[in-house]
Copies of this chain bind each other. A is one copy, B any other.
Amino acid sequence: MGRRKVEIKRIESKSSRQVTFCKRRNGLMEKARQLSILCESSVAILIVSSTGKLYSFSSGDGIAKILKRYEIQHADELKNLDLAEKSRNYLSHKELLEIVKCKLEEANTNNTSLESLNSLEEQFKAALSTTRVRKMELMMELVKNLQEKEKLLREENQILASQLAKMEKKGCPETEDEGAMSSENSFRNSPPTTLSLLK
């Protein structure tokens, strides 16, 4: 859309590349904004220039929220968060154990009546209300589930990555559309794509 048609390939001149980057980046963001408004959708854009500078756009509520929507297990996650918040005030088991052990030993060295011991037990039970126990258990379950999920995802990730690698070798070793090359360039010295998260 300028005085002449441009080929879509890396602009060699550094300065005009910079100028074009700025113009087109602004254009892209504006388009994103319009799309999000016209069609009431959530849009997020992240751009890292070749010099490593980050630019981002997101319609309204920030990237985190957009990503959240995309979470497949909505209900599950909401439940998780809810649970997480509720259990914020609970004590860790290990901690509790330590304290109890310590205190009991202390108590042991003194004299205790049967009645008072019973009442102690009652109070202790009360303190450890049933709901608390339950929530803590759920909390533990949450962590366990998350860890399992993570494991599955990593496994699947590995599989996908290796399949991709295979195909890339067989199919088309050099020309990659949509910036596979450019990404190679802009992250020249970083390890292969997928592995970043997997270390």
Task: Flag if A167 contacts B171 (CB, 8 Å).
Answer: yes
Task: Flag if B67 contacts A155 (CB, 8 Å).
Answer: yes
> CB of A3 within 8 A of chain B?
no
CB neighbours (8 Å) of A4 from chain B are none
Given A93-B132, A100-B99, A182-B37, does the pair A193, B62 have CB atoms closer than 8 Å? yes
Task: Give complex CA distance A40, B121 in Å.
Answer: 58
Task: Flag if B21 contacts A35 (CB, 8 Å).
Answer: yes
Task: Flag if A72 contacts B193 (CB, 8 Å).
Answer: no
CB neighbours (8 Å) of A157 from chain B are 153, 156-157, 160
Chain multiplicity (copies) = 2
CB neighbours (8 Å) of A8 from chain B are 33-34, 37-38, 176-177
Instruction: Provide the main secondary structure of the chain A interface.
Output: helix
CB neighbours (8 Å) of A73 from chain B are 198
Q: How far is the CB of A147 from chain B (nearest CB, A)?
A: 7
Could you say which of B121, B127, B143 contacts A120, with CB atoms under 8 Å apart? B121
A→B interface (CB under 8 Å): 6-11, 17-18, 20-21, 24-25, 27-28, 31-50, 52, 54, 56-57, 59-73, 77, 80, 84, 86-97, 99-101, 103-104, 106-108, 110-114, 116-117, 119-121, 123-125, 127-128, 131-133, 135-137, 139-140, 142-144, 146-147, 149-157, 160-161, 163-164, 167-168, 171-187, 190, 192-198
